[in-house]
Copies of this chain bind each other. A is one copy, B any other.
Amino acid sequence: MVDETGTQGAAAAVTQPLDEAECLRLLAAGGVGRIGYTGRFGPTILPVNFALQDQTIVFRTGQDSPMGEDLRTGIADAEYKVAFEVDEISPATREGWSILIQGSAHHADSGTELAEAQRSGVQAWAGGEKDLFIRIVPARITGRRIRRAAAG
């Protein structure tokens, strides 16, 4: 019988939850993450380059981009709910970790907020004008690590 990890008895997967401190430690390196939200065509996921700043996620997009527009509720002080996912998974060993942040997307529009977001040093992955800084304030941070253990 093929076991449920799909490795036919070679190694069973062990899943461990990551606590918030460990998630923040892993996120501190920045890099590529993926933002998820409900946009004009339904649920949407797009990769962005991010930085961690004061336990929040900062990334850049275009003021007039579909994402920049989608993430505005049009109501002052009402912020869009988003997901932000970061992972590091080895296809070879099928070990790795993933982190999920759930929270609100805040447009860093004002002078002070914009200056602070710019200090994160985050750069956009794609080209074009990316002068809109978005800050995600986590309401919930969860993560897990997957390791392989020899099967019994």
A100 touches B32 (CB 8 A): no
A36's partner among B4, B36, B81, B140 (CB-CB below 8 A) is B36
Stretch at the interface among A18-26, A37-45, A108-116: A37-45
Please tell me if the beta carbons of B83 and A45 are within 8 angstroms of each other in the complex: yes
Taking CB atoms, residues of chain B closer than 8 Å to A82 are 43
A123 lies within 8 A of B46 (CB): no
Shortest CB-to-CB span from A78 to chain B, Å, is: 14
The residue of chain B having its C-beta at the shortest distance from the C-beta of A128 within the complex is B4
The CA of A100 and the CA of B39, in the complex, are separated in Å by 13
25 chain-A/chain-B pairs, Cβ below 8 angstroms: A4-B131, A5-B123, A5-B127, A6-B49, A6-B124, A13-B126, A13-B127, A15-B128, A32-B89, A34-B85, A36-B43, A38-B43, A41-B102, A42-B102, A43-B81, A44-B83, A44-B102, A45-B100, A46-B85, A46-B98, A47-B87, A47-B98, A125-B146, A126-B144, A127-B146
